[in-house]
Structure 1
Amino acid sequence: MSDLKAKPVPVRVPLVTEPMGIWKSLQTSRRNVLAIIPDIATRQPMVSGKTGKRWHMVTDPGANKRILLENLENYPKSLVTKNLLRPAIGESLFIAEGAHWRWQRRAAAPAFSHRNVLNLAPTMTQAAQRSADRIRTAGPRAINFLDEMVSLTFDVISDVTFSGDSGFDRNAVHGAIDSYIAEAGKLSLFDILGLPDWVPRPGRMFSAGGVQQMKKVADQAIDARSQRDTKEVPDLLDLLLAGEDPETKRKMNTQELRDNLLTFIVAGHETTALTLAWSLYLLAFDPDAQEKARAEVQSVLSGNAATGDDVAKLPFVRQVVDEALRLYPPAGMVSRTALAKDELCDRLVLPGDTVILPIYALHRHHQLWDDPDGFRPDRWNGFKPDRYTYLPFGDGPRICIGASFATQEAVIVLATLLAQFRFKSVPGRNPDPVMIITLRPDGGVWLEAEPID
C-alpha cells in the first residue's frame, strides 16, 4: 500500500445522508438549494421521493438526453423557475416555451455566431486589462475576486450590449440586477407549492421598483439605438435589432428585445463571473496547475493581455475553465415539470411530477468520473465526456445560446490575469459553495495577487 497521503480536494457541498421532510427541505433550500441533494444521487442513476410533490433527481446520461432532447416538449421549465425569474426577464428565451421560444431562438442565433463572438473579443481584452490595472493598484493585500470578476464581466456585457450609449445608466442597471437576484433567489414556500404569480411573495415585493427602473433604462436605450445607424463593428444590441426569424420573418419588438437583453445581461455577467472566480480559487488551491497554466500563457501571449486569436492556443487554460465548470457549475440544479406520463431509468414519471437535473451531483457522479471531487484539469486533455454527462450550459435545442461567448471571455480574462499575477490563497478564508439561483462562493474568493515583473 502506498504511503502517499490522499490529495486534498477543493471545497464542496455536504450532501444529504438522511431523508428530510418538507419544512426542513424548505429551510435548507433557502440557505443552499444544493444541500437538499442526497449523496446517493452521486452513486445511482435516479433518486425519487415526495416532499409536498413527487420528485425525481436524474443523473443518468440517457435519461438526461430524453429530458433535454428526445422528449423535450414533455419537460418544460418548472413553475418554480418561471415564478422566480419572470418578473425580471418576462417571456424571454430563458423562460418561453414551444413556438414562442423557437422563433426567438432562430432570430437571436446569428448574434452569437463564431464570427460575431470573435468580433467582440477586443472588448473582453480591454476589460481584462482594466481589471488587471485595478488589482495592481489595490496593492499587496487580499482582494475579493468574486467582486472583482462581477465588476469585470459587467463591464464586458454592458460594453458589448450598449456600447457608445452615454445615456445607459450602468450603475442603475447593475444595482437593480443585484437587488433582484438577492431577493428572487430566496425560495418561497409559495413557489415550492406552485402557486400562481399573482399571489404575493413575501420579501420579493420591494425589489419590484428596481426591476421596473431596469426595464425603463433598457427600453430607452433600445429606442435610441433604433434611431441611428449600425456601427462598423455591431454590438449585441445592433445584432439583435437586425435579427429576424428566417422562417416567419418576425423581428423582436421593444419589449421582446428588452427582456432578452436583460436575460443576456443577467446571465452573461453573473455566470461568467462565477466561472472566473471559481477558476482563480482552484488555481490558488493547486499552485502546480497554476504554474502550468502560466507557462502556457507566457509562451503564447505577445503582450500582457490575451486576445481572441490567442484563445485556441491556450488549451490548458481552457481545461482549467472546463474543470471549474464541472466542479462548480453556475446552474448547479435545474428543474422541469412533466406534462405527461413517461418512463426514465425504467421508473414511471407521472404528469405534474418535478424532474430535477442536479448538475452538481451529475458532475461529481462516482460512476461517471474518476476522482469526482478532485481538481484535475489534465482530465480534459484529449478527453471528451458523453455530452449528457457534462452539462454546464445544458444541452439539446435549449443549450445556452451564449456558451461560446462565455468560454471565450473566461479564457481571455484568465490568461490576462495569469500573465500578470501569481495568486495565493488566504488562510482561513475558503469560499463556501452555496446555490440560490446560481452556485456562488459564499463569503467571496479572497486571494493575494502578487505582480509578476
Structure 2
Amino acid sequence: MDHHPVRAKLATQPLGLWASLRAARQNLLEILPLIAVKQPMVSGKTGLRWHMVMDPDAIRHMLLERLDDYPKSKATKNLLKPAVGNSMFIAEGADWRWQRRAAAPVFSHRNVQALAPIMTEAAQACCERIKSKSPAAVNLMDEMVRTTFDVIADVTFSGEGAFDADAVHTAIDAYIAEAGKISVLDMIGAPDWIPRPGRLFFGSAVNDMKSVADQAIEARRKRPLREVSDLLDLLMAGEDPETQRSMNTAELRDNLLTFIVAGHETTALSLSWALYLCAFDPTVQEKARAEVQKVCGDQAATAADVENLPYVRMIIDEALRLYPPAGIVSRTALTHDTLCGREVRPGDTVMIPIYALHRSEALWDKPNAFDPERFSDRKAIDRYAYLPFGDGPRICIGASFAIQEAVIILATLLGRFRFTPIEGRDPEPVMILTTRPEGGVWLNADLV
C-alpha cells in the first residue's frame, strides 16, 4: 500500500488542444503539469494563452490587490450562468458588491450558530442510516451528500412543502454532470453566442428548477414573519447598506440556488475525503475519537462543541488541503500585468490550480502526506498558500457555515463509528467542476 493517500496523476508532458479537452471533460486535474508543484508559475498556449500561478504573492496580487482586473473566466461563467444566473458567484464589479453587502449579514456568526441544531439533527439521522446498514460496507459519499443536502434544504426553506428540494437537487446534478463539462468551444475561445450542445440539452430541467424556486419565494412573501429565520427569510430581509437595494425574486432565486449547490456538495465532498483519510490512518482517527468522546461524551456534537474540537477541525482542514473542492479556479486578465516576472496580456486565462498549490513542494513539508498537525498553528501557514474557500473580497461567503457543519457531522460520526478501508475500493480524485472521489468512499463502519 502506498504510504500516501490517493492523489491525481498530473501530466508529465505538455498537452495539446485535443488532449487538454479530453482531460478537461474526464478529469480536469489531469491538465495540471507535474512541474506545477515545483514552480511558482507555468505558461502555455492551447488555443488560448494561459498561465498557472502557484506563488502566494502573485495570487494575493490577483485576488486582493487587483481583484477587478482578474474577473472570473468566461469559461467558468459559461458553465454556471445557465444554472445560477447572475448570482454573486458570477456577478462582477458593482453588481457583485451590492449583492455581497446585502447577503453578508445572513452568514454572521450568530446566524450560523443558530442553524447548528439542524446540522446536529442531520448528523444523528445519518448515524441511524449507517447503523441500519452495518455490518455491510457503506458508501460514505452517498451518505454525506444526503446529509448535507438535508441540512441545506432545511436551513434554506425550513423543510416546507412548497419547495421540492429533491427535484432541484436532481436538476442541478444533471446539469453539472453533462453541461458542466468544458466544451472545445470554451477551450478555443469561441464567442458566447455559439451554442454549447450539452448546456442546451439540460436547459429545460434548469428552467423547471428555477420556476419551482420562484414559486417558493413568492409563497414566502405572503406568509407572516416567524420567530426563527431560515436563509430565505434572512436573504429576503437583506439590504445593501450603501444603496438600500434588496434582492428581487430572480436575484433571490439565483443566490439561493447557488447556496444550495455550493452549500451542500462542497461540504459533502470535504466530509467524504475526511472519512477516507481517517480510515487511511487509524492513529489519526483514534486521536480524533478520543477528543470527541472527551468533549461530547456519547452525544452528537453541537455548535457549543465546535471550538473545543480543534483536532477534528484540523482533519477537515487537511482534507480540504489534499482534496480542495474547487481544484482549479480560473480568471481572465483584463489589463497588461506581470506575474512572477512573466508578461500577462489582456484576454489571457490565468488559473490558480489550488490542487497543485496545496501540494507545492516549496510551500508544504511532505506535501502529499496526510498530517492534520500541520494546521496546529495556522499563523505559520501563508494565507495565500491555502485557499479551500478562495480569499480576498470574494472569499466564499459561506465558509464559516461549511466549517461548522463539517466539524459537527465528522465529530458525531467518529464518536459513533470506527471506519476501516475496504481493499481495492480506494476512491480516485476526479474533478469536473469539483474534486469528487470517483467510485464513492466505501468503508466498513463498526459501532464503537
Which of 287, 291, 301 aligns to 1:292? It is 287
Indicate yes or no: 2:90 matched with 1:102: no
Q: Partner amino acid for 1:128?
A: A
1:160-180, Cα deviation, whole Å (9 max, x unpaired): 000042121122111111111
Find the aligned partners of 2:45 and 2:270 in 1 and give their Cα distance: 33
Could you tell me whether the CA contact under 8 Å between 2:115 and 2:155 is conserved in 1?
yes
Find the aligned partners of 2:192 and 2:216 in 1 and give their Cα distance: 28
1:355-393, Cα deviation, whole Å (9 max, x unpaired): 000000000000000000000001111243111000000
Could you tell me whether the CA contact under 8 Å between 2:46 and 2:188 is conserved in 1?
no
Q: Partner amino acid for 2:442?
A: W
Q: Which residue of 1 aligns with 2:70?
A: 75
Q: Which residue of 2 aligns with 1:253?
A: 248
Q: Which residue of 1 aligns with 2:210?
A: 215
Please provide the CA RMSD for this pair.
Answer: 1.1
The within-5 A match list for 1:233-252 is 233-252=228-247
Secondary structure class of the residue paired with 2:389:
coil
Could you tell me whether the CA contact under 8 Å between 1:73 and 1:98 is conserved in 2?
yes
Could you tell me whether the CA contact under 8 Å between 1:304 and 1:420 is conserved in 2?
no
Q: Partner amino acid for 1:394?
A: G
Q: Which residue of 2 aligns with 1:3?
A: none
Could you tell me whether the CA contact under 8 Å between 1:145 and 1:277 is conserved in 2?
yes
Indicate yes or no: 2:445 matched with 1:440: no
Q: Which residue of 1 aligns with 2:302?
A: 307
Find the aligned partners of 2:137 and 2:86 in 1 and give their Cα distance: 41
The within-5 A match list for 1:302-341 is 302-341=297-336
Q: Partner amino acid for 1:217?
A: V
Q: Which residue of 1 aligns with 2:425?
A: 429
Q: Which residue of 1 aligns with 2:9?
A: 14
1:3-43, Cα deviation, whole Å (9 max, x unpaired): xxx97000001111111111111111111111011111111
Q: Partner amino acid for 2:80?
A: L
The within-5 A match list for 1:54-65 is 54-65=49-60
Q: Percent identity?
A: 66
Could you tell me whether the CA contact under 8 Å between 1:142 and 1:448 is conserved in 2?
yes
Could you tell me whether the CA contact under 8 Å between 1:429 and 1:446 is conserved in 2?
yes
Indicate yes or no: 2:407 matched with 1:411: yes
- Give me the TM-score of the superposition, normalised by structure 2: 0.98
1:415-453, Cα deviation, whole Å (9 max, x unpaired): 01011100010100000000000000001100110012x
Find the aligned partners of 1:165 and 1:12 in 2 and give their Cα distance: 41
Find the aligned partners of 1:432 and 1:296 in 2 and give their Cα distance: 29
Find the aligned partners of 1:377 and 1:295 in 2 and give their Cα distance: 15
Find the aligned partners of 2:74 and 2:326 in 1 and give their Cα distance: 17
Find the aligned partners of 2:108 and 2:159 in 1 and give their Cα distance: 22
Q: Which residue of 2 aligns with 1:268?
A: 263
Could you tell me whether the CA contact under 8 Å between 2:64 and 2:393 is conserved in 1?
yes
Could you tell me whether the CA contact under 8 Å between 1:279 and 1:320 is conserved in 2?
yes
Indicate yes or no: 2:146 matched with 1:151: yes
1:196-237, Cα deviation, whole Å (9 max, x unpaired): 443221233221111111101111111111111222120000
Q: Which moved more, 1:7-16 or 1:407-416?
A: 7-16
Q: Partner amino acid for 2:389?
A: F
- Give me the TM-score of the superposition, normalised by structure 1: 0.97
Count how many residue pairs are aligned between Structure 1 and Structure 2: 447
Q: Which moved more, 1:105-114 or 1:210-219?
A: 210-219
Indicate yes or no: 2:178 matched with 1:183: yes
Find the aligned partners of 2:159 and 2:317 in 1 and give their Cα distance: 33
Which of 84, 89, 105 aligns to 2:84? It is 89
Secondary structure class of the residue paired with 2:198:
coil
Find the aligned partners of 2:165 and 2:138 in 1 and give their Cα distance: 23
Indicate yes or no: 2:396 matched with 1:400: yes
Secondary structure class of the residue paired with 2:273:
helix
Q: Partner amino acid for 1:30?
A: R
Could you tell me whether the CA contact under 8 Å between 1:165 and 1:221 is conserved in 2?
no
Find the aligned partners of 1:317 and 1:178 in 2 and give their Cα distance: 29
Could you tell me whether the CA contact under 8 Å between 2:279 and 2:285 is conserved in 1?
yes
Q: Which residue of 2 aligns with 1:349?
A: 344
Unaligned runs of 5+ in 1: 1-5
Indicate yes or no: 2:363 matched with 1:363: no
